[in-house]
Structures are given as C-alpha cells and as structure tokens.
Chain A
Amino acid sequence: MRNTSPRAFRRGLTPAAIPATIAAIVILFLIVCALIPSVVAPFDPLGVNPSGAFKPPSVEHWFGTDDSGRDIFSRIVYGARDSLTIGISATLIGLLSGMALGAVAGGSRGRALAPLRTVADRVIEGMFAFPGLLLALLLISVRGPGVVSILIAVAISTTPGYARMIRGGIRKSLGSGAVEAARLQGDRAPRIWAKLVLPESLRPVLVLATLGVGEAVVMAAALGFLGMGMPPPAPEWGSMLNAGRSYLVKAWWMTCFPGLVILAVGLSTTILGRAFDGRRRFA
C-alpha cells in the first residue's frame, strides 16, 4: 500500500498521499476560520433576518439559512473557533492528566512504590469502565451545562486512554536494552527519563492525540446536540444541529451541513493521525 520508493517521495503528491493532503487542507481551512472568521464568512453569524428564513442552499447562501434567516455557512465558520478551542484544549488537558497518571503507573517500580502503582493502575481501569459520554453527562448534571463543563467532561473521558498508552510505553522503555545500557554507563534517572523514556513513550501518544482532537470535537457536538452546550444564539456546531432537529423535514440543510462539517473534522483527524503514524515508521 505505502509507496516507499525515494523517487515517489520526491515527486510530492502520490496517490497514497491524497487523503492526508485533503485532510490537512480541511483542518487548515477550519483553523483559518477559527482565527479570522470575519474574512471567511460572507454574513454576520448572528444577523437575524425573519423574511429570509428557511432559504434552501443557493449561490448566495451556500448552506441555506436557518429559522431566523441567519446564514448557516457563516455560522459554521464562526462556530469553528469554539469547536476547535474545545477540541484542542480538552485534548491537551486529557493528555496532561493522562501523562501524569500513566507516568505514576508506569514509572513506579520496586516494592516501595508498589501501592502507588496499584492505585494508579486501578484508577486507570476504573476510569475505562465509565463510558465517556455518560461521564460527561454526570458532570453536567452537577455543574450545569456550559463550555467549561464540556471541556472538563471531554478531558476526563479521554484521560484513561492516554494514561494506559503512556503506562505501556514507559514500562516497555524502562525494560529496554537502551535504558539498561544507560544505567550501566552510570546515567542518573532524570537524565534517562528525559533522554530515553519520555520521548519514546510520548511519540505514539501524539498520534492518538491527533485522533483525540477530532473525537473531542464530535463529543462536544453531541453534548451541544443534547442542548447542554452553549446557549442558543452562539453558533456552536452541536447547538446548530440541536436547533435543526425541530425543522428536519422542513429545512434539512440546517441539520445536514453542520453535521457534515463535524464528520469532516473527525475523518480528517483520523486520516492525519494515521499519516503521522506512517511517517514515523517511515523515518
């Protein structure tokens, strides 16, 4: 499947690289939308225009208009900022807490640290047993809906996945010949961790984190869809889907296009994550 000849690599775009290229373009475009929405969007995302409500997709309104006559394309463009911010920061928080938990579980060696290791192992296992979306809903029921609740909820539900992977990586690395050799050379633990253990165990996790951003965006959208995200006028993708539900038959574009964008994000991050994974083996 993978084209491994150096010539093909130099030639640039090989057929195998097309999906990853498209995925990168999609993500870059959404990042541009998030940074400078006013340049990309043709209309005001909050500009209510009752006479122009429920307009189907046209040259003027690419994705049609919603129940208040707002341009759906513009709302999606403006919504990119919130959705990507939630996706990326939730992934970062989840990654950091997963790293901490995984490092404690994977790095605690010897009899003295055994209880610590056991507790960390059990916490990771226990967290895995909570289905992510349900945990998020538990949190929201106590904290109330809102961006911060969604952020924490998504972060917590991604933590055990990262923790488990880092734990495995650290254990494998600590048992490897390279670490043994460094130890025999007289290198101290902090140096071994910084030079060998951490880089080796973090690399596969970064691939997972790329996938994780897409997943976080989709999960945040699911919560928004249930009406637990940002309050109505905000152009958040999940909330837009939620609003479109009432007009599904009358105005299918209100549901179809925000969902397609969410699908595009999930698909693009998956493809990109795999591409990174492949490149890593390649090098």
Chain B
Amino acid sequence: MRTIARRALGAVVVMFTVATLAFIALQFIPGDPAEAALGGPGSQATEEALQAARAQFGLDRPIVVQYLDFLWRLVRGDLGVSYSQHIPVAEVLGRAVPPTFILALTALIAAWLLALVSVLVASGSSRIARGFTLMIDLFAAAIPGFWLASMLVLVFAGSLAWFPAVSTGGFNGIVLPTISLAIPIAGFLAQVCRSGIDDAQRAPFIESARARGESELGIRLRHVLRHGVVPGLNLTAWALGSLLGGTAVIEVIFARPGLGRTLVSAVNGRDIPVVLGVVLLAALAYVVAAFITDIVIARVDPRTEARIEQAVPRA
C-alpha cells in the first residue's frame, strides 16, 4: 500500500514536470502565439488585432502569472479554447478520446498476443526456427506503421476487398488500423520478452521444476513466460505512448475520427491549445499506464520492489 502511494505521488510529480516543460517549451519556441492564433505569420494581422489577441489569451501578463494560471487551469481540467473551433479544448478532446482509446487498446492487446505467440513458438524450438522468428521481430519493429497501413489498404481493401479502406465504425473497420499499429509494437515487445525468456530458461528454478516432473508445456507457460514478460511489461507504458503517436498517422490514413486526426488538423491549422491539450493528455496516459504497469509487475514478479532501471526504452 505504501509503495502504491509513493508511486502515485511520483506520477503526480511527473505530470507537474510535464506541464512545466510544456509551458517552458512554448515560451522558448520562436514564433508569436498571438500571431499563430490569427492564422500564422502569413496572415499579416494588424498590430491592434495582435494586441487584442494577446489580451484575449492573457499573453500580455507577466510570465510567472501566466505559468501559475496555466497550472491552475490544468488542475481544473481547463485546457483553454480552440483557436479555430472556438469551443473549449476539453470538449474537442472529449469527443476524440473514445475512438482512439478503443483503437489503442485493441492494438495493444493484438501486439501482446502477436509477441507472445512469436516468443512461445521460438522458445525451445530449433535454431533455424529461432533465427527465423528473430528476423521477423526485427522486420516488424522496423516497419514504418504509416507505410504498413498503406500497403494493408492496398492489399486487403483494394485487391481483396476484405476490409473497408475507411474506418468509420464497426468491427471490420478497426481490423486494418489495429494491425498496422500492433505489428511494429509486437516486434519490440517480442524482442525484449525473448531476452527475458532466454534468461529465465537458464535459471535454476526451471531445472528444479523439470526435476519435479512438470510437463514442458507447463514449465513454459507457468514459469518461463511469467519471467519473460516482465521486460515487456516494463515497455508497455512506452508502447502506449508510441501507439498514441502512431494513431496520428493511422487515423489520417483510415479517415478514422479520433485524437490523432484531431491533432493533425490542429497542427495544420496552428491550433496550439488543441495540440497542447492532446500532448498533455498523451503524457497523462503514459504516466497512468506506467503507474499501472508498475503495480502489475510487482504482482507478476514479487522480487521487483524497486523498479529496476530498464536498459533501452526508446523514445
């Protein structure tokens, strides 16, 4: 219980840091937010219009006041008003979250399933089979999701016409986006899980389980897998973050409503409050996911009291 409280506090600290970093970044990035609000540098807004915009968005106040106000509004869930849609950002996000949440969840589940299948097939198989799955993992992890999505559309929506190219709703519509997102993540998960499994297979407790007369399959499922998935679980929060980034591209390709598409159109329209809102929301999702995986890992592997610094969670 105390560990959970400490982790929760840590999560709050990270969120505070994230908000602060975002605020600092916004200050240092060249370009005038007031100008952006009026349509970017090309808009040739008059000085009066700029002044009015600065006053409207509170950009004319001292920086410390702006920062405290920024934090206080975040705590209350107030992310400001969209420059282009003129409605609260929270409302824009609220509409976009459910479809993206569903897509990210199915993709995460699919990625774990694919990774586990790949790892289980390889563990204990012949050297050739191992080498082959290793190559597949490498390939899967290196495939750019946006290109994979285009190719899937070409084959499964174009030539074969099994699934729709436009994903508006229903089960059929979510299959191709899920696969496009899941395959690269599955490649990463399989790679890290495999090293965990290789370590576990050489561990003494496997030998003793074998000596007790447990079946090979039972050993694989009960002991090896349990130890093998820990490095993968460690990466799950990272995977979720990467999924949210991936949805930006995937939702555009499949014309699927959601956070990603909202984000891309907001970037094109220089709608900074919306972009900032999506980024902060993604960071929150990452922090929450990291918090949950920490607890799950403590359950799966009771030895991990303090979370071990993992080697390569790539940003």
Alpha-carbon distance between A132 and B245 when the two chains are bound, in angstroms: 7
Main secondary structure of the interface of A (DSSP, over half): helix
Chain A residues within an 8 Å CB radius of B44 = none
B253 to A, closest residue via Cβ: A245
Contact among A164, A226, A245, A271 with B150 in the assembled complex (CB-CB below 8 Å): A245
In contact, A143 and B29 (Cβ under 8 angstroms): yes
State the interface size on chain B (CB cutoff 8 A): 67
Alpha-carbon distance between A215 and B141 when the two chains are bound, in angstroms: 11
Question: Among residues 114 to 153 in chain B, which have CB atoms less than 8 Å away from a CB atom of chain A?
Answer: 127, 131, 135, 138-139, 141-147, 150-151, 153
In contact, B309 and A168 (Cβ under 8 angstroms): yes
In contact, B142 and A214 (Cβ under 8 angstroms): yes
Chain A residues within an 8 Å CB radius of B174 = none
- Mask, A148-164, CB within 8 Å of B = 1, is 00000000011111001
In contact, A134 and B279 (Cβ under 8 angstroms): yes
A126 to B, closest residue via Cβ: B17
Minimum C-beta distance from A196 to chain B (A): 21
Chain B residues within an 8 Å CB radius of A37 = none
Chain A residues within an 8 Å CB radius of B22 = 138
Alpha-carbon distance between A163 and B143 when the two chains are bound, in angstroms: 26
In contact, B279 and A225 (Cβ under 8 angstroms): no
A208 to B, closest residue via Cβ: B312
Binds A, one of B54-62, B210-218, B268-276: B268-276
Binds A, one of B87-95, B222-230, B281-289, B293-301: B281-289
Alpha-carbon distance between A144 and B143 when the two chains are bound, in angstroms: 27
Alpha-carbon distance between A134 and B18 when the two chains are bound, in angstroms: 13
B249 to A, closest residue via Cβ: A222
B240 to A, closest residue via Cβ: A131
- Mask, B256-279, CB within 8 Å of A = 1, is 000000011011101110011011
Q: A161-B315, A270-B141 are in contact. Are A138 and B275 (CB under 8 A)?
A: yes
In contact, B17 and A262 (Cβ under 8 angstroms): no
Contact among B29, B31, B131, B248 with A137 in the assembled complex (CB-CB below 8 Å): B248
Chain B residues within an 8 Å CB radius of A225 = 146, 249
Contact among B14, B26, B36, B242 with A129 in the assembled complex (CB-CB below 8 Å): B14
A221 interface residue per 8 A CB criterion = yes
A34 interface residue per 8 A CB criterion = no
In contact, A126 and B244 (Cβ under 8 angstroms): no
B25 interface residue per 8 A CB criterion = yes
A152 to B, closest residue via Cβ: B29
Main secondary structure of the interface of B (DSSP, over half): helix
B98 interface residue per 8 A CB criterion = no
A258 to B, closest residue via Cβ: B147
Alpha-carbon distance between A159 and B25 when the two chains are bound, in angstroms: 14
In contact, A131 and B245 (Cβ under 8 angstroms): yes
A142 to B, closest residue via Cβ: B29
In contact, B313 and A161 (Cβ under 8 angstroms): yes
Question: Among residues 242 to 267 in chain A, which have CB atoms less than 8 Å away from a CB atom of chain B?
Answer: 244-245, 248-249, 252, 255-256, 259, 262-263, 266-267
A128 to B, closest residue via Cβ: B315
Contact among A138, A140, A267 with B276 in the assembled complex (CB-CB below 8 Å): A138
Alpha-carbon distance between A266 and B138 when the two chains are bound, in angstroms: 10
Minimum C-beta distance from A26 to chain B (A): 12
In contact, B18 and A157 (Cβ under 8 angstroms): no
Interface range on chain A (Cβ under 8 Å from partner)? 35 or more
In contact, A142 and B18 (Cβ under 8 angstroms): no
Q: A126-B21, A248-B150, A263-B143 are in contact. Are A228 and B267 (CB under 8 A)?
A: yes
B41 to A, closest residue via Cβ: A144
Alpha-carbon distance between A134 and B100 when the two chains are bound, in angstroms: 14
In contact, B26 and A142 (Cβ under 8 angstroms): yes
In contact, A157 and B315 (Cβ under 8 angstroms): yes
A127 interface residue per 8 A CB criterion = yes
Chain A residues within an 8 Å CB radius of B245 = 131-134
In contact, B272 and A255 (Cβ under 8 angstroms): no
Q: A142-B29, A215-B314, A255-B154 are in contact. Are A270 and B144 (CB under 8 A)?
A: no
Report which residue of B26, B139, B153, B248 has the largest number of chain A beta carbons within 10 angstroms of its beta carbon. B248
In contact, A131 and B282 (Cβ under 8 angstroms): yes
A14 interface residue per 8 A CB criterion = no
Minimum C-beta distance from A49 to chain B (A): 25
Chain A residues within an 8 Å CB radius of B146 = 221-222, 225, 241
Alpha-carbon distance between A221 and B33 when the two chains are bound, in angstroms: 27
B241 interface residue per 8 A CB criterion = yes
Binding site for B on A (CB under 8 A): 1, 19, 122-123, 125-135, 137-144, 157-161, 164-165, 168, 208, 211, 214-215, 218, 221-222, 225-228, 241, 244-245, 248-249, 252, 255-256, 259, 262-263, 266-267, 270-271
Binding site for A on B (CB under 8 A): 13-15, 17-18, 20-22, 25-26, 29-31, 33, 36, 40-41, 127, 131, 135, 138-139, 141-147, 150-151, 153-154, 158, 238, 241-242, 244-246, 248-249, 252-253, 263-264, 266-268, 270-272, 275-276, 278-279, 282-283, 286-287, 290, 309, 311-315
Please name 11 further chain A to chain B contacts, defined as beta carbons within 8 Å, in addition to the given A142-B26, A245-B253, sorted by A numbering: A128-B315, A129-B283, A135-B279, A138-B25, A222-B145, A222-B249, A249-B158, A252-B154, A259-B147, A263-B142, A266-B142
The 6 tightest CB contacts between A and B, nearest first, are A259-B147, A126-B17, A133-B245, A266-B142, A131-B241, A267-B142
- Chosen A-B contacts, 18 in total, with CB atoms closer than 8 Å, are A1-B127, A128-B313, A129-B241, A129-B286, A131-B282, A137-B248, A137-B275, A138-B25, A140-B267, A141-B266, A142-B29, A218-B144, A244-B150, A249-B158, A256-B151, A263-B144, A267-B139, A267-B142
